[in-house]
């Protein structure tokens, strides 16, 4: 094949965030923008010649065009085999699994996760390393450095690839393998969960379910596993066809955006179990009849009951949570004498712990849960875990949650998101919070006495790397917390996330409405950060 070297110039805004580079589609469509970033990745990696690369995305607008370009650049840079999901589709956890199963050098995942899709919306690309997990900071920093000095990229002159036919194509020394995106992942799930029990429980009508794929990548996966393999009634998976604009919706699995599912689960004749996943399939929302399970509680419940699942019957080595996630899983770990780690937000921070065997389960409050089966959070895995628990325990979702609270207490929890805040205002809020930190410990605000106030920093216990400025924490003597953090997943302005947590050990008080129970902390959060005052807003964009 003929390889061309194309002169280019750097773009100054190609600094990968928490989960890769995310920008508006039109930004990526600029001449040389995508090419520069992909070449910067390849230039920063060692010994990529004759290696395998996994490639796929969530099917959002620009996915297919970007894949064709990346194929040509990967070919020019010497990869010997590209493993690509049929139609250019791969869920993020499925991509992680393929990297691990086929011992690929790494993979490129095209997604902006839960962000909207379409010509005027968002696109993203991230690199996953050989363990299947997101590239750690030393990699992403290298990509950014290279992107600021790049002067040319290499591209092979080969025709566009047929992405829709499963099979192998050859171009000189390059092999392109188009795989069914679901098969390998479905086989992995069968090694973890009791599919026979699930088939029996669903077939008998003991479990009825509704899964909202939100017109995103998990549609084909959920249809195959839940309906075809486990026997859920046709139509149990709704919004099942992946669309480039996610049907005009916002593929974020929460009560605000998965409105159709929420209405069904809180309505009459609700199914036993409800769930949703996001754009790229790595997040999950869990519901039962008349109940929503917070992601923090979900992680704790999975950890407390892991021994009931075939794949974890021999026990788990430890657990980890992102810092803003509630301390519910900490209480499980303490009672079961398990190691428990608190990391910054970003799945890449769990990778070292998983590879070192220090943890088996991990999760984030932002609807991500996972285990050592891959190196990404995994939405459909969490759904199957919950279904397996319901089938094994013979309890409803509400009963499982209530039993857990009675045993461990309830961490009453909420997240308030203020989206698309002007960057200068958001930076001003963070600066204002930092100024207050030294003055807060020991101060009393009604019943809340400040125990500590700091900016979270993390030292990786495996490689010793340090990550600073990972969110502002204000903790109180009664165990309550307020956390403030600027999110790195948006593409317009900044998103300020405020996390509120209050521990309630008294089972007679477990049924409180979270927003009412957290009202004093909500008032304190405004006192500390003044976001309503500074933005003129009446309240958060989204409450979860």
What are the tens digits of pLDDT across the range 368-396? 999 999 999 999 999 999 999 999 999 99
Give the domain range for residue 491. Answer: 410-543
DSSP state, residue 409 = -
Q: Quick one: CA dihedral 387, 325, 334, 377, positive or negative?
A: positive
Buried b (16+ CB within 10 A) or exposed e, 494-524: bbbbbbbbbbbeeeeebeeebeebbeebbeb
Identify whether residues 479 and 426 lie together within a single domain. Answer: yes
pLDDT at 17: 79
pLDDT at 489: 56
What is the rounded average pLDDT of the residues 158-168?
96
How would residue 167 be classed by pLDDT, with cut points 50, 70 and 90?
very high
The sheet carrying 368-371 orders its strands as: 340-343, 319-322, 361-364, 368-371
Q: Of 180, 198, 217, which marks where a domain is finished?
A: 180
Check: CB of residue 271 under 8 Å from CB of residue 383: no
Identify whether residues 221 and 170 lie together within a single domain. Answer: no
Residue of 373 and 137 predicted with greater confidence = 373
Identify whether residues 25 and 145 lie together within a single domain. Answer: yes
What is the rounded average pLDDT of the residues 169-175?
92
Identify whether residues 169 and 206 lie together within a single domain. Answer: no
Written as one string, the DSSP assignment of 173-215 is TEEEEEE-TTHHHHHHHHHHS-HHHHHHHHHTTS--EEEE-TT
Q: Of 383, 408, 433, which marks where a domain is finished?
A: 408
What is the rounded average pLDDT of the residues 343-360?
94
Identify whether residues 212 and 351 lie together within a single domain. Answer: yes
Identify whether residues 57 and 205 lie together within a single domain. Answer: no
pLDDT at 493: 81
pLDDT at 135: 94
Does 18 score more than 90 pLDDT?
no
Q: Of 370, 393, 408, which marks where a domain is finished?
A: 408
Q: Return the closest-CA partner of residue 343 out of 455, 489, 470, 500.
A: 470
pLDDT at 348: 87
Give the whole-angstrom CA distance, residue 11 versus residue 8.
10
Identify whether residues 47 and 170 lie together within a single domain. Answer: yes
Q: Domain with 488 in it: what CATH number?
A: 3.30.310.50
Whether 91 is catalytic: no
How would residue 311 be classed by pLDDT, with cut points 50, 70 and 90?
very high
- Which one of the listed residues 19, 40, 96, 113 is annotated catalytic? 113
pLDDT at 1: 86
Does 481 score more than 80 pLDDT?
yes
Identify whether residues 68 and 166 lie together within a single domain. Answer: yes
Percent of the chain with pLDDT over 70: 99
The number of distinct structural domains making up the chain is: 3
Buried b (16+ CB within 10 A) or exposed e, 471-491: bbbbbbeeebbbbbbbbebbb
pLDDT at 341: 98
Identify whether residues 165 and 273 lie together within a single domain. Answer: no
pLDDT at 370: 98
What is the rounded average pLDDT of the residues 75-90?
98
Identify whether residues 356 and 416 lie together within a single domain. Answer: no
H or E segment and range at residue 364: strand 361-364
Q: Domain with 134 in it: what CATH number?
A: 3.40.120.10
Does 492 score more than 80 pLDDT?
no
How would residue 491 be classed by pLDDT, with cut points 50, 70 and 90?
low
First to last CA, the chain: 52
For the stretch 524-536, pLDDT in tens is: 999 999 999 999 9
For the stretch 189-243, pLDDT in tens is: 999 999 999 999 999 999 999 999 999 999 999 999 999 999 999 999 999 999 9
Identify whether residues 70 and 115 lie together within a single domain. Answer: yes
Identify whether residues 160 and 208 lie together within a single domain. Answer: no
Give the whole-angstrom CA distance, residue 110 versus residue 108.
6
């Amino acid at each position: 094949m003929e390889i061309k070297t194309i002169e280019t110039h750097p773009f100054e805004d190609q600094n990968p965030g928490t989960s890769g580079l995310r920008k508006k589609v039109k930004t990526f469509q600029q001449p040389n923008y995508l090419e520069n970033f992909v070449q910067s990745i390849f230039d920063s990696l060692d010994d990529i010649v004759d290696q395998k690369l996994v490639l796929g995305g969530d099917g959002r607008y620009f996915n297919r065009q970007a894949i064709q370009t990346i194929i040509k650049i990967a070919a020019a840079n010497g990869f010997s085999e590209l493993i690509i999901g049929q139609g250019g589709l791969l869920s993020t956890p499925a991509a992680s699994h393929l990297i691990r199963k086929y011992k690929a050098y790494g993979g490129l995942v095209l997604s902006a996760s839960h962000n909207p899709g379409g010509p005027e919306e968002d696109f993203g690309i991230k690199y996953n390393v050989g363990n299947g997990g997101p590239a750690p900071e030393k990699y992403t920093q290298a990509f950014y450095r290279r992107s600021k000095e790049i002067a040319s990229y290499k591209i092979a002159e080969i025709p566009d690839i047929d992405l829709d036919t499963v099979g192998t194509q050859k171009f000189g020394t390059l092999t392109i393998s188009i795989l069914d995106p679901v098969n390998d992942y479905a086989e992995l799930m069968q090694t973890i969960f009791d599919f026979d029990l699930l088939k029996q429980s669903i077939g008998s009508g003991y479990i009825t379910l509704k899964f909202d794929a939100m017109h995103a990548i998990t549609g084909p996966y959920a249809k195959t596993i839940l309906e075809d393999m486990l026997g859920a009634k046709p139509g149990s998976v709704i919004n099942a066809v992946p669309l480039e604009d996610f049907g005009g919706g916002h593929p974020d699995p929460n009560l605000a955006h998965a409105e159709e599912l929420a209405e069904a689960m809180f309505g009459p004749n609700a199914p036993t179990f409800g769930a949703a996943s996001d754009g790229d399939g790595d997040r999950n929302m869990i519901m039962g009849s008349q109940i929503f399970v917070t992601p923090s509680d979900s992680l704790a419940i999975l950890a407390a009951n892991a021994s009931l699942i075939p794949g974890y019957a021999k026990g788990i080595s430890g657990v980890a949570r992102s810092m803003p996630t509630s301390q519910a899983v900490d209480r499980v770990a303490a009672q079961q004498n398990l190691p428990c780690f608190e990391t910054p937000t970003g799945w890449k921070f769990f990778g070292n712990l998983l590879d070192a065997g220090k943890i088996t389960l991990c999760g984030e409050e932002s609807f991500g849960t996972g285990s050592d089966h891959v190196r990404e959070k995994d939405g459909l895995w969490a759904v199957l875990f919950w279904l397996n628990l319901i089938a094994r325990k013979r309890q409803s979702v509400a009963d499982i949650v209530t039993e857990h609270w009675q045993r461990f207490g309830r961490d009453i929890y909420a997240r308030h998101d203020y989206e698309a805040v002007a960057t200068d205002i958001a930076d001003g809020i963070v600066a204002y919070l930092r100024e207050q930190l030294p003055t807060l410990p020991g101060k009393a605000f009604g019943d809340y006495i400040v125990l500590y106030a700091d900016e979270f920093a993390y030292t990786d216990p495996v490689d010793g790397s340090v990550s600073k400025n990972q969110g502002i924490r204000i903790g109180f003597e009664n165990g309550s917390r307020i956390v403030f953090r600027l999110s790195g997943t948006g593409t317009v302005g900044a998103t300020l996330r405020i996390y509120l947590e209050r521990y309630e050990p008294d089972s007679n008080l477990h049924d409180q409405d979270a927003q009412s129970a957290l009202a004093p902390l909500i008032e304190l959060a405004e006192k500390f950060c003044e976001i309503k005052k500074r933005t003129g807003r009446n309240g958060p964009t989204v409450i979860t």
